[in-house]
Structure 1
């Protein structure tokens, strides 16, 4: 059977189940849950995939709201779709959780594409899976799933993420987090301040030191922080103060160098103030996204074939994602998928475009990008030399960590 025929059959299947794919988007949007608490969404997705003949593990490992759904017994490649379904806090008059990052759309896209590919998996002796991981917005469920080995047998992984434009998301930065808590000694700030040890001085010193460090950092490094605790009253020397920082860089190796300097600054600030320093890492470390250029080229080929324009700004500012940790295990594709209405594009985390995550435009984009992802997966299934090249590129990038 010709490759074009397989693409056509995948498109026909997508059209057959289009309303069910849209329903996934609607359901998860209507049941917005914060990271680690996505009980309704994860249960719905796991049961849906099980109903369609997938072998489902739920919960998965140590995470109550993670799941993995597998289809196919063949010896061919396993293509994985990286589902997310956690919401963000603080939207609307009542400040409720909402899918302002469009993870409801990601869940629909991943599960929908897997359902399409199920129609061809047995015939092509290949396999498809969906790994649903919680809390991308907070602690990063994929980091835990990766540590527990749930991507180890995956040959290639794919995620499309809602955006205001279709683009490669290859600039995702590695990130570490630190909370510096300084312990001093309280005293009356007017009567006998000399008896106190000002923990807030150590926090201020940390910020001053980090700001001085910035001129010596490479352009891709980012350090941003907040004061989380600064004392109780102006007339009391603060005996406890704390600050919380994110430190990012394009490569994990350089990030580790920057983090050493940030920690040294906090230690020096504690010594200057005479305070005791307590350091914790509240969030799991995300790796930078490791691109497999052959996979990028494959994605461009199919997006071009479907007349989906790609934004070419390779230096566009970027954040961080736990997809980066998966990209160090197997070749990954991470792309922005344009959703727009009346000339306005979906802007992640913004309340103004929150409804767009469950709009007619979102559904139209779902169908476009399910078709694109299915075509990409079919080529990965059918081209062992291409897959071998992708894996070699990841191995080379990993060595340059």
Structure 2
């Protein structure tokens, strides 16, 4: 019966290409993907999925479910569809969204016979304030057995890891005064920020190589002859695991408080974006996916590449077995987050990758639905690691 998935994908391939190309030509930024979400949900609705929009209080997030009357696992495919400023779909989210939708629709045609359910989750704003974070925290994945997403890249890679990340803002308040005539009456908030940077740079010597700390001064004064009474720095702080990241953040917060004490300024610490947890790939699920990709696509599949980035799929992987593999665009060396990468998604090769990716996701979902030993291995690994 698994071979029927190819037939189902073939039936909808032109619609998938059209949707992906439409997303490319009409890019929308995170949490503004109104047309994109509507396009995908309309297609899912045509195939008898039950649609719930605006989930986790995000207007462009959605949950689409096709539930058979026979018991069985629930497979979730995650769709991204936010674009980047200036370069549009330079991360290939037009492919990601349509691959997941295509896989969901294809698999839904079989579940009435084999049992189980298929869910497609629309997950806005991956590039900025990822909706997968509140989805993971608010129970969206509670009744889901596995979650999958497939990302385009220059070449194909097995699912790997990612760094946990906190986006932290340090806002200092001092006291303005004339920098030349009465400097003794001022409290320089910018000096606090500078001492914060100096303290972090001193800390780097004592951090492991997987830790990344990088930041900017987003506010530092208006004129050189006025003592700045407001100054703000924003940092991304990353580490291989959430537990160690929390330790690093505590150290940097202590440095920030020390910088305030040095100048007499007051300090407010806040998160200016959502925090991402580290990605924990489920190897059993990943091996099943890789086996299917080898049968579907002729490209070499490389081992997971070392990742120093952070993704909101990491939060998903903490609450449900999950994978985040990559499928190549047949152009080794092409760089993501560029116009060239976006353009590649609407070529003949990009269209074929869309079909291959959707089919591989569908086949892997079928394996989980029909192979009890595979599901037991996936769960055994997940709960052991957890």
TM bucket normalised to smaller: over 0.9
Shift of 1:21: 1.2
Shift of 1:30: 2.1
> What is the TM-score normalised by the length of structure 1?
0.92
Shift of 1:61: 3.6
1:309 correspondence with 2:300: yes
Misfit runs of 4+, over 3 Å: 343-346
1:337 correspondence with 2:332: no
Give the equivalent residue in structure 2 for 1:71: 66
Give the equivalent residue in structure 1 for 2:188: 198
Give the equivalent residue in structure 1 for 2:7: 12
SS, match of residue 246 in structure 1: strand
Shift of 1:136: 0.8
Give the equivalent residue in structure 2 for 1:215: 205
Give the equivalent residue in structure 2 for 1:379: 367
For 1:277-316, list aligned pairs within 5 A.
277-306=267-296, 307-312=298-303, 314-316=304-306
Unaligned ranges ≥5, structure 1: 1-5, 92-97
Of 97, 122, 137, 1:132 maps to: 122
2:364 and 2:299 mapped to 1: Cα distance?
A: 14
1:101 correspondence with 2:97: no
Asked if the contact 1:288–1:325 (Cα under 8 Å) also holds between the matched residues in 2, the reply is: yes
Asked if the contact 1:139–1:284 (Cα under 8 Å) also holds between the matched residues in 2, the reply is: yes
Give the equivalent residue in structure 2 for 1:358: 346
2:81 and 2:169 mapped to 1: Cα distance?
A: 27
Shift of 1:72: 2.2
Give the equivalent residue in structure 2 for 1:84: 80
Asked if the contact 2:158–2:290 (Cα under 8 Å) also holds between the matched residues in 1, the reply is: no
| Aligned alpha-carbon RMSD (Å) | 1.4
Give the equivalent residue in structure 2 for 1:25: 20
Unaligned ranges ≥5, structure 2: none
> What is the TM-score normalised by the length of structure 2?
0.96
1:158 correspondence with 2:154: no
2:187 and 2:176 mapped to 1: Cα distance?
A: 7
Asked if the contact 1:54–1:71 (Cα under 8 Å) also holds between the matched residues in 2, the reply is: yes
Give the equivalent residue in structure 2 for 1:51: 46
2:178 and 2:230 mapped to 1: Cα distance?
A: 14
Asked if the contact 2:220–2:231 (Cα under 8 Å) also holds between the matched residues in 1, the reply is: yes
2:86 and 2:186 mapped to 1: Cα distance?
A: 39
Shift of 1:190: 1.3
Give the equivalent residue in structure 2 for 1:3: none
Q: Residues 255-298 of structure 1, C-alpha deviation per residue, up to 9 Å, x if partnerless?
A: 11111011111111111111100111011111111121111221
- Greater mean deviation of Cα atoms: 155-164 or 9-18: 9-18
SS, match of residue 345 in structure 2: helix
